[in-house]
Amino acid sequence: MRYPAKNKPRILTVCIIFSIVLGMFFYGVGVGEFHWPPYGLLHSLTKGLSDGFERVSSLQQTDGASYDIQTWRTSYYALDNEGQLLLEELFPYRNEMVYTFNRLVNPQKTAIVVMDPWIDSPSEELNIDYEVIIVNRIIPVVEKGIELGHPIIVLTNSSLNRAYSNQIHPYLNRLVKESCVYLLYHEEYDDREFAAFLRRIGVTSLIYTGFASNLCVIGRPMGIIHMVNNGFRCFSIPEASAAVEFENTWDTGAIHEMTTKIIAQWMAEIININEFLSL
């Protein structure tokens, strides 16, 4: 079939557009959703719009009174009662020890973060070990936090393009559906976006729980290190957490114990779970 000469440019244009769209589709299939350029464009647009609109619903939250709680941290240099460096002739000086503090906590401004409380990691051993901590430690902390008026933020992976390590414990999922806790996905927030979200809901301090203390809790974009660098005061409840141990330390928890000491050196002050639950 022969086409009139005047229609040839139009047909060529249609073919080019079709080829581009088809190429973008197969590229998206190859690299996955989150690396696909159109997704990045939409994500940037969503990020811009989120300055005016929240991506998550507001919580059903009580207005709790501020409370006092004891915390501790370690330091190579001497600290005052507020945790600031003491100076001698304009320089900090060595006084290596464990320092304790009495902190006044405003629950409305202090969110409890539950990092990756998964029940579907690729390791059944981890699922079993961590579920014990979720049920016996993390859930009681969450319930006490709700009672005191803390915002609760559960972090996990999106189930899109991921067949594991995204499902949270059913009890926590129920709290999400009842608008008692926030559920945020790692794929949707970097550290600056998370910091902006926290400031929009009035949060200035964070209490971390969850898994794993030596990996995601400290290292992910919404973890302790990034949030300290974004200007948030951070606390940790190590009993409501655990590390990925070495083969010969699972029985002793030595890696988690050492990680807690490292966290206490500069990242966060430590809160004892029993003192928190007794409030």
The model carries a pTM of: 0.81
Q: Within a domain: residue 181?
A: yes
Q: Is the pLDDT of residue 12 over 80?
A: no
The answer to whether position 89 is within a domain reads: no
- Contact predicate 192/199, CB 8 Å: no
H helix runs in the chain, sequence order: 8-31, 37-49, 124-133, 139-148, 170-177, 191-200, 216-219, 224-229, 254-262, 273-277
Residue 175: what pLDDT?
A: 98
DSSP states of 120-176: --S-HHHHHHHHHHIIIIIHHHHHHHHHHT--EEEEE--STT-SSS-PBPHHHHHHH
**249 located within any domain:** yes
Q: How much is the average pLDDT of 59-75?
A: 90
Residues 246 and 126 reside in one and the same domain: yes
- The per-residue pLDDT for range 236-278, each reduced to its tens digit, is 999 999 999 999 999 999 999 999 999 999 999 999 999 999 9
Residue 255 lies in a domain: yes
Q: Are 203 and 238 in contact (CB under 8 A)?
A: no
For 151, the token pair is: 């915002």
Q: Is residue 222 part of a domain?
A: yes
Same domain? For 168 and 233 the reply is yes
pLDDT attached to residue 28: 54
Is residue 25, in this structure, part of any structural domain at all? yes
Whether residue 40 sits in one domain with residue 164: no
pLDDT value at position 76?
98
Q: Count structural domains, the chain.
A: 2
